Amino acid sequence: MKQMFMIADYGRVISPVNVEKETAHFVTYSYEDWKGNPCERRTAKEGHFFPTWEAAHDHLVSECEKSIKRAEGVLHRYKAQLGNLKAMKPTVSA
């Protein structure tokens, strides 16, 4: 059994998990359910499990930076649209 770090709660938490079995695409890990009973879960490994806390943290920082760049692009387009709307003059056809 080896320890890996899982990104959970929509990227807000980095949790250590005890990995029972690892394949190229899946990880089986043990956890306790809400009643405290031991359980196992098999889930996709891609983008959720990392060998170290630092690797998981770097992944989250990278994803956040990408989101900020996308948001800046959207904000720029809305500011341009606002400028166009403010420059509009009424057209009257009589």
Each residue's pLDDT tens digit, 11-39: 788 988 888 888 888 888 887 777 888 88
What mean pLDDT is predicted for residues 1-18?
85
CB 25 within 8 A of CB 44: yes
Residue ranges per domain, the chain?
2-84
Return the percent helix, strand and coil in the chain, to nearest 5. 35, 35, 30
pLDDT at 56: 93
Confidence label for 94 from pLDDT (cuts 50, 70 and 90): low
